[in-house]
Amino acid sequence: MPENAVQQAPRHDVLAADSILYLDGVTVSFDGFKALNSLSFIVRPGEMRTIIGPNGAGKTTMMDVITGKTRPDEGTVLYDGNVDLTKHDEAAIANMGIGRKFQKPTVFENLTVFENLELALKGPRGTFAVLLARLMGEQRDRIDAVLGTIRLTDRAHTSAGALSHGQKQWLEIGMLFAQDPRFLMLDEPVAGMTDAETEQTAELLREIARDRSVLVVEHDMEFVRNLDCKVTVLHEGSVLAEGSLAKVQADERVIEVYLGR
Ligand SMILES: Nc1ncnc2c1ncn2[C@@H]1O[C@H](COP(=O)(O)OP(=O)(O)OP(=O)(O)O)[C@@H](O)[C@H]1O
């Protein structure tokens, strides 16, 4: 190579540099069927992103790849610009600050709201034994702050089992938020919520997203509109369209495979 030639950086180094999540050409096959088919998209630090798409588009598989539950057959999955997530297991990835909320709430019904948050704060996947340890003042303040964010301050000493479905979802979001993740993924957080709860959930997620990255998989278009962020449309394991909700809603291909049905 001539002495003054500029060496071309690999594409992913350039594009990944300013990303919290970078997927490039990610393929996952199940018995020859491609659940993800060269999936590529980028989430910037501090960004909130919604992922929409018909059933079977690959949304769950995508989250499984990010959290280390499923290994891709091909492709690049980088966190924070340079951490190759395909080389780490689920526990290590959770410890890096990637939180995932599954569709159904899994709070401890017999414990109070406060105790649930206390467990979440005492360490990932905390045990009951840690309840015996005294809370530091700082942790108490953190729980109080989280209670405010998830709109459950006045339910702090109610048992979680007595909460409405929507409030249980908020509590679980709070349990993840308490651990201060840098990147939070939520799977259909408003499924089964009332309209009022759905609206409040959009508000609380926008608050949470002020100082972290959030990725929301969702079908409820009114909720997606309220989140007011960039939307990525998945179809057959790849990105079909990306942009503002208005832009993807006007896309003929999106209407055909998803919205128009
Ligand atoms: N473990 C598996 N073995 C075989 N096929 C699978 C497996 N997991 C997912 N699939 C298939 O891969 C495709 C993508 O599934 P995935 O669950 O990721 O889609 P999705 O977008 O999350 O759908 P939904 O909105 O219904 O949850 C589907 O056709 C599904 O049947």
- Contact residues of ligand 1, CB 6 A cut-off: 30, 35, 53, 55-61
pTM of the predicted model as reported, rounded to 2 decimal places:
0.89
110/115 Cα distance (integer angstroms): 10
Strands 74-79 and 230-235: unpaired
Query: Which residue lies with its CA nearest to atom 11 of ligand 1?
Result: 35
Residue among 52, 60, 234, 257 whose CB has most ligand 1 atoms within 8 A, to mutate: 60
- Distance from the alpha carbon of residue 207 to the mean position of ligand 1, in angstroms: 31
Length of the chain: 261
171/104 Cα distance (integer angstroms): 12
Domains and CATH numbers, the chain: 19-255 (3.40.50.300)
With cut-offs at 50, 70 and 90, classify the pLDDT of residue 244.
very high
Closest CA to 146 of 109, 172, 182: 172
Residue 35 near residue 63 (C-beta atoms within 8 A): no
ipTM: 0.95
* Mean pLDDT of the 174-178 span: 93
Q: Return the SS3 of 182.
A: coil
- pLDDT value at residue 51: 97
- Which atom in ligand 1 lies closest to the alpha carbon of residue 62? 18
Per-residue pLDDT tens for 105-157?
Answer: 789 999 999 999 998 887 644 444 455 455 667 788 889 999 999 999 999 99
